[in-house]
Structure 1
Amino acid sequence: MAPSRSLYKESLPLISMITMEFFTVGLNTLFKAASLKGLGYYVFVAYTSIIAALLFLPFHLVFNRTIPLPQHKRPLFVRILLLGVIGFVGLVIGYKGIGFSSPTLAAAIGTLNPAFTFILAVMFRMERLSLSRPSSQAKIIGTVSSISGAIVVVLFKGPTILSTFSSPEELVAADGTSHSNYWLLGGLLIATEHLLFSLGYIVQAQVLKMYPAEFSVALYITMCTSAISLAASFVGETDIDAWILTNPDIKLAAVLYGGVFGGFLNTIVHTWCLHLEGPVFVAIFKPLSIAIAAAMGVVFLGDDLHLGSVAGAVVISAGFYGVIWGKAREGKEEMELAAVEDCGSPYHLGTSSTNSNSLPFLVNHT
């Protein structure tokens, strides 16, 4: 293998995924700081969605392959519209949850995505279960462990194990409400956000099966989310002054950062790494965000670090790796089963070279 090919295949995906975890946690931290300065959730979601859509358009025109739309377009567009609604609602309640709690809590609960996706995939018959197989047992145990850890994080804040002198949890919101009273509500909102995004993965898998043009689908979903965000946000935020971001302050920085790194670059990097290395590689970096968020929250926001967040994050991470291990094991079991069946067939022509782990996460059995 040539050195340049080895760098592309091994080093660049690793560096890209670690960098994106820093960018993602940085976005949550920056938004938290901007929200304390008066940036509204609706304004932030609307602006970042529009910026991401504008950036996707030229990228789509340059790199997208021409793939004709399916003959029956209505089911495709209905699902894209649904994804736009899910995206808008998920982002709004997710950022509200961060505003009520902390980026560290958001990072910990974020590792529930594989568990939620697994449960929904089973419900929609996109994932098969066999209790006699180690892969299914690992995924079930991992899912239960992840959800248990999330319950610990949300319900048990616990004593402070690392404190600062000026924690934003002691600040008071514009309506006079103390943020410290909303830790539970923030956790529930963030969990709901990830449940909606897991549902979005199921719908997006159906969309890509109907129209396998990744960048076109990403553009259409982003444009739909932008249109819905703009319309709904003008209803939710009627104060015209809240939409004016003329001064180069932290609010404007958060909006630009969210549009470029959160909405645009994050989608490109994850799509590229998923195609190159598979879903296990992409998902394995998620628990890294917990440590990053804790460090950034303490350093930049003055957050207190609580025992409940640490204990719950450990349990969630263990469950997360259980689900991922089970998924990887399942691919190996299916390859072994296919090899046995092919060898036993009188018309054996060889096994397929396609590994189930190279396919999009939980779309293998559609």
Structure 2
Amino acid sequence: MGWAKTTKAPISMVAVQVFTTGMMLLSRVALSEGMFVFSLLAYRHAIGSLFVAPFALFLERDMEVKLTFKALLWVFLNALFGITMSLGFYYYGLRDTSASYSSNLLNLIPVVTFIIALTVGMERVDLESKSGKTKVLGALFCVGGALVFGLYEGEVLHIWPAHSHAAPRRAGMENSTKHRLRGTVLLICSCFSFAFWFITQAKLFKVYPSKYRATMLTCLAGTFQTIIIGVSVNQGKDAWGLKWDLQLLTILYSGILNTAATFCLISWVVSQRGPTYPSMFNSLAVVFTTILESFFMGQDITVGSLLGMAMIFGGLYGFLWGKNKEYAMQRRAAGGERSAPLEVMQSQSAAVVPVLDKELKLHSCF
């Protein structure tokens, strides 16, 4: 019984990373075959809102929270940054690069959020302390790793024998990787959108502290936003039509597992192990995606990608170590009362779990 209790949290987080890996690989193939990004976003979050709705209706039925105009405004902004912009940029960047490349760059989200929070005064750095120096060095390593990852390829590592690939590399994927620079810019824009999303979440939960209802409303708002933008860009039946194919599987998989299931799993783990715990598993999605995409889709693994990945991993864990030390010091100084840290974690594709304020609960639509 004791073993089961101690393994539930890590097994849940490994499951989240497996869900994220599957979402990235399925989305990569679907987008390379011409799937319209905004139809994917609209259908995915409509399904996600349906699966989160029971939690909002039953688990929070006793909560008396008024949905004011101010709360609706923050819901709109939350959906704009957290779904329409962040995932829109992400999917277009994923289409231009690869699943492993995009999942690795998403590790920059904590650092980008830290930089923005530092700029607006929500975060401070004590360069005299070891934790403060580690945070800054970690951020620099992450940025350096992203530059290496995006600008330097180096020698291709032929890890698998040519005959071991289960399927040849698809033509759409070969053509899309020619736009690597454009894809990198789009993925960086996605990181900034996610960072602003965390800040809007802090504002939303101050005026509407109902995590499941807020998630459901955000998904609904994101659905309408992406439909409006998508229809203005492409009104063709082929872009919005659904068939029993890989595109429908991608939509169902992303909506059920990467919006609803991931949110519930991470919310439970954070309540059991604290906000830093889920972020320690983020690198698994990058490792899983890199290996599977290389083996099944023929995606090249280069010296530059491995070097950039190692720098981002090292910088991210150094940054999170420094944040965790500061958080522990704040709690001791407050006599054990939870203070207001800035912790940012990724769950998906990608789900990302922010802790920006003591009023901020958990919220993830990735």
1:347 aligns with none
1:69 aligns with 65
Question: Are residues 169 and 90 of structure 1, via their aligned partners in 2, closer, same or farther at CA, if it must alter by over 3 Å?
Answer: farther
1:264-279 pair list within 5 angstroms: 264-279=260-275
Question: Are residues 308 and 63 of structure 1, via their aligned partners in 2, closer, same or farther at CA, if it must alter by over 3 Å?
Answer: same
Cα distance in structure 1, aligned partners of 2:153 and 2:50:
40
1:171-186 pair list within 5 angstroms: 171-172=171-172, 178-186=175-183
2:349 aligns with none
Does the aligned pair in 1 maintain the 2:79–2:218 contact within 8 Å?
A: yes
2:37 aligns with 41
Q: CA deviation at 1:109?
A: 0.6
Q: Does 1:361 align with 2:355?
A: yes
1:16 aligns with 12
Q: In structure 2, which of residues 209, 226, 239 is the aligned counterpart of residue 242 of structure 1?
A: 239
Does the aligned pair in 1 maintain the 2:104–2:309 contact within 8 Å?
A: yes
Cα distance in structure 2, aligned partners of 1:336 and 1:262:
35
Kindly report the root-mean-square deviation, in angstroms, between the aligned alpha carbons of the 2 structures. 2.6
Does the aligned pair in 2 maintain the 1:80–1:207 contact within 8 Å?
A: yes
1:292 aligns with 288
Cα distance in structure 1, aligned partners of 2:145 and 2:71:
37
Deviates more, 1:162-171 or 1:151-160: 162-171
Question: Are residues 271 and 40 of structure 1, via their aligned partners in 2, closer, same or farther at CA, if it must alter by over 3 Å?
Answer: same
User: For 1:132-190, what per-residue CA distance to the aligned partner results, in whole angstroms no more than 9, with x for missing partners?
Assistant: 122221111111111111111111133211377689877258xxx93232111112211
2:87 aligns with 91
Question: Are residues 260 and 101 of structure 1, via their aligned partners in 2, closer, same or farther at CA, if it must alter by over 3 Å?
Answer: same
Q: In structure 1, which of residues 175, 198, 220 is the aligned counterpart of residue 217 of structure 2?
A: 220
2:28 aligns with 32
Letter in 2 for 1:328: N
User: For 1:302-340, what per-residue CA distance to the aligned partner results, in whole angstroms no more than 9, with x for missing partners?
Assistant: 2111222111110001110011101111123224445xx
Cα distance in structure 2, aligned partners of 1:365 and 1:322:
26
SS across alignment from 1:245: coil
Any unmatched runs of 5+ in structure 2? 344-353, 361-366
Letter in 2 for 1:331: Y
Does the aligned pair in 1 maintain the 2:138–2:316 contact within 8 Å?
A: yes
1:79 aligns with 74
SS across alignment from 1:287: helix
Letter in 2 for 1:220: L
State the TM-score, normalized to the length of structure 1: 0.86
SS across alignment from 2:355: coil
2:314 aligns with 318
Q: CA deviation at 1:99?
A: 0.8
Question: Are residues 146 and 358 of structure 1, via their aligned partners in 2, closer, same or farther at CA, if it must alter by over 3 Å?
Answer: closer
Q: In structure 1, which of residues 90, 99, 105 is the aligned counterpart of residue 101 of structure 2?
A: 105
SS across alignment from 1:279: coil
1:120 aligns with 116
Question: Are residues 212 and 236 of structure 1, via their aligned partners in 2, closer, same or farther at CA, if it must alter by over 3 Å?
Answer: same
Q: CA deviation at 1:353?
A: 5.4
Q: CA deviation at 1:240?
A: 0.8
Letter in 1 for 2:330: E
Letter in 2 for 1:92: G
1:327 aligns with 323
Q: CA deviation at 1:283?
A: 0.8
Question: Are residues 75 and 125 of structure 1, via their aligned partners in 2, closer, same or farther at CA, if it must alter by over 3 Å?
Answer: farther
User: For 1:116-147, what per-residue CA distance to the aligned partner results, in whole angstroms no more than 9, with x for missing partners?
Assistant: 12112222322222221222211111111111
Does the aligned pair in 1 maintain the 2:86–2:189 contact within 8 Å?
A: yes
Q: Rg larger in 1 or in 2?
A: 1
Does the aligned pair in 2 maintain the 1:147–1:316 contact within 8 Å?
A: yes
Q: CA deviation at 1:192?
A: 1.4
Cα distance in structure 1, aligned partners of 2:159 and 2:95:
19
1:352 aligns with 336
Question: Are residues 106 and 172 of structure 1, via their aligned partners in 2, closer, same or farther at CA, if it must alter by over 3 Å?
Answer: closer
Q: CA deviation at 1:355?
A: 7.4
Does the aligned pair in 1 maintain the 2:107–2:312 contact within 8 Å?
A: yes
Question: Are residues 76 and 168 of structure 1, via their aligned partners in 2, closer, same or farther at CA, if it must alter by over 3 Å?
Answer: farther
Does the aligned pair in 2 maintain the 1:65–1:213 contact within 8 Å?
A: no
Cα distance in structure 1, aligned partners of 2:359 and 2:59:
29
1:308 aligns with 304
Letter in 2 for 1:77: L
Cα distance in structure 2, aligned partners of 1:321 and 1:38:
36
1:155 aligns with 151
Number of residue pairs matched by the alignment: 345
Does the aligned pair in 2 maintain the 1:17–1:285 contact within 8 Å?
A: yes
The percent of aligned pairs where both chains have the same amino acid is: 24
Q: CA deviation at 1:78?
A: 1.4
Q: Does 1:7 align with 2:24?
A: no
Q: CA deviation at 1:49?
A: 1.1
Letter in 1 for 2:93: G
Deviates more, 1:295-304 or 1:61-70: 61-70
Question: Are residues 274 and 361 of structure 1, via their aligned partners in 2, closer, same or farther at CA, if it must alter by over 3 Å?
Answer: same
SS across alignment from 2:154: coil
Q: CA deviation at 1:59?
A: 2.4
2:347 aligns with none
